[in-house]
Amino acid sequence: MKNATVNRPEAMNEFEMFQVADWMEQTKPNVHYTMTPGNDCIWVYYGSMNLYFIFRAGKIADIQID
Residue 2 has pLDDT above 90, yes or no: no
Do 19 and 60 contact (CB within 8 A), yes or no? yes
Count of all residues that appear for the chain in the document: 66
Per domain, the residue ranges of the chain are 4-65
The per-residue pLDDT for 50 is: 98
How sure is the predictor about 1, in pLDDT bands with cuts at 50, 70 and 90? Answer: confident
Residue 19 has pLDDT above 90, yes or no: yes
21-66 pLDDT, tens digit per residue, is 999 999 999 999 999 999 999 999 999 999 999 999 999 999 999 9
Residue 16, amino acid: E
**Would you call 5 exposed, middle or buried from its count of C-beta atoms within 10 A (0-12, 13-18, 19+)?**
exposed
CA separation for the pair 24, 17 (Å, rounded):
11
